[in-house]
Amino acid sequence: MSAHSRYNSPLTSRYASPEMAYNFSDDKKFGTWRKLWLSLATAEKQLGLEITQEQLDQMKANLENIDYVLAQEEEKKRRHDVMAHVHTFGVAAPLAAPIIHLGATSCFVTDNSELIMIRDALEIIIPKLAGTIRTLANFAEKYKELPTLGFTHFQPAQLTTVGKRACLWLQELLMDLRNITRAKADLRFRGVKGTTGTQASFLALFDGDHEKVEKLDDLVTEMNGFPSAFLVTGQTYTRKVDYDVLNALASFGATAHKIATDIRLLAHLKEIEEPFEKDQIGSSAMAYKRNPMRCERVCSLSRHLMTVVGNAAQTAATQWLERTLDDSANRRISIPEAFLTADIVLSLLQNIFDGMVVYPSVIAGRISQELPFMATENIIMAMVKAGGDRQVCHEEIRVLSHQAARQVKELGKQNDLIERVKNTSYFQPIVGQLDALLDPKTFTGRAPQQVDRFLKSEVEPALLPFKDILEKGLKKVDLNV
């Protein structure tokens, strides 16, 4: 069968980065199994078991020499993937065949390799998230003083600034960085625990020497780059770990969906757009269209990311006693898909933030439609200072506001409230102040100062641990697919 006659997941064939696709590949998975068997045998030799250096050398020389055809034949015959690969490794390293997987249960390689892949996937995700935050922070700094119409209920509200709105997005991304970093810091190795987690098989191997069994667990954990292992497990590590990690990724999915939705709304208003390539086509029928396809893809993939965590919750809830195998098939799908999806969403956000286009003239035009109504209180206060009666002034401005609103809503014309104020004799004492009273920057409150403080107090400290990697620059991804 050709590659085009079988289903291929778009997460790997279309979207995901090479590094994340490799992390959940067969080469990474089964290569890690062999490294785990090597570390187990190495530690067992150090602690006195009869294992020769030649056996270890032969294992080490064949870590990547995986005969997938033989492994597939063995699995079809034995109906057991781990034993199929034990046999296949033994064929590649015949001297070591008698001691491969010595004392271990299948979950020694399956669970520990999954923890390694989860750890390595997080090490891919976290710097990308930090880079995305930095790019958006630069955008917020650049536009911290640009007034824009704020919306509540997607109805015109008081003014804010473009940079302040970006800080609302940044705040949620910082929460995701905290959650995902914390999830990685909490990871522990399953280690060397045996069939039901009691380490009975290893205790037998070491003739009842508890200290050597504990040392074996510590050595294998250290060899595989983990600072610690779970002190107690069943046959598997607790599936709460999967739920914890995927919950952090799903929470990021909610953030990404919200940000991309906001940008889609702003694109509809023609205020802000995602990057649009010179030869990009928005519609096959409507040549003028500039669809927010990257943001739509973020929403689409984020929706999937937010649902995958449900699998982890169900799996954690339905573990029977020391373990049940109905988690296996589900986890083969849900864990890689969560990371692959989060990875491409991050790459998309980085691309969007890096080339996001702002249209100040459109923003100013929309402000000009709404600001006169917002400025009525300022006009009233100015008239009172000039000696006017507050109640009389309120009635005058109310009448003019309704007249201007009719022009906008019923006749589709521009908001002419200020012209009406200028042409009304009652307001002549303050006509000279109107430009100052209508300066949009006087309506944004402390938004620019809030941006400065937020970037300095929260964003900069959060990015400090990633200073070196961000200075080197993250690889750009071609997203024109």
Tell me: pLDDT of 327 over 90: no
Same domain membership, residue 139 and residue 205: yes
Q: How many CA atoms lie within 13 A of 419 on its CB side?
A: 8
The residue segments making up the domain with residue 137 are 127-359+455-472
Establish if 14 belongs to a structural domain. Answer: no
pLDDT tens track for 135-161: 999 999 999 999 999 999 998 888 999
Same domain membership, residue 332 and residue 281: yes
Establish if 121 belongs to a structural domain. Answer: no
pLDDT tens track for 153-189: 998 888 999 999 999 999 999 999 999 999 999 999 9
Establish if 116 belongs to a structural domain. Answer: no
Same domain membership, residue 218 and residue 145: yes
Same domain membership, residue 404 and residue 338: no
Same domain membership, residue 336 and residue 228: yes
Establish if 401 belongs to a structural domain. Answer: yes
Same domain membership, residue 256 and residue 195: yes
Tell me: pLDDT of 280 over 70: no
CATH at residue 56: 1.10.275.10
Tokens (6 digits) for 132 = 């995305």
- Write the single-letter amino acid at 116: I
Same domain membership, residue 261 and residue 312: yes
Best mean pLDDT range from 270-279, 337-346, 430-439: 337-346
Same domain membership, residue 308 and residue 188: yes
- Helix (H) or strand (E) segment spanning residue 273: strand 272-273
pLDDT reported for residue 269 = 95
Q: Which long-range contacts (CB under 8 A, 24 or more apart) does 323-329 make?
A: 323/107, 323/234, 323/235, 323/236, 327/236, 327/239, 328/110
Cα first-last separation, the chain = 25
- Helix (H) or strand (E) segment spanning residue 304: helix 293-317
Same domain membership, residue 234 and residue 92: no
25 class by beta-carbon count within 10 Å (0-12 exposed, 13-18 middle, 19+ buried): middle
Q: What is the DSSP string of 128-177?
A: HHHHHHHHHHHHHHHTTT-EEEEEETTEEEEEEEHHHHHHHHHHHHHHHH
CATH at residue 420: 1.10.40.30
CATH at residue 463: 1.20.200.10
Q: Choose, from 153, 268, 361, 425, the residue flagged as catalytic.
A: 153
Establish if 367 belongs to a structural domain. Answer: no
Same domain membership, residue 397 and residue 268: no
Establish if 214 belongs to a structural domain. Answer: yes
pTM to 2 decimals?
0.89
Tokens (6 digits) for 53 = 């250096």
Tokens (6 digits) for 356 = 């996001």
Establish if 45 belongs to a structural domain. Answer: yes
Q: Choose, from 210, 283, 402, 457, the residue flagged as catalytic.
A: 283
Establish if 176 belongs to a structural domain. Answer: yes
Same domain membership, residue 354 and residue 241: yes
Same domain membership, residue 234 and residue 141: yes
Active site (annotated) includes residue 394: no
> How many domains does one find in the chain?
3
Among residues 249, 295, 293, which one has the least CA distance to residue 124?
A: 249
236/242 Cα distance (integer angstroms): 12
pLDDT tens track for 386-398: 888 999 999 988 8
Tokens (6 digits) for 202 = 């290893």
Active site (annotated) includes residue 153: yes
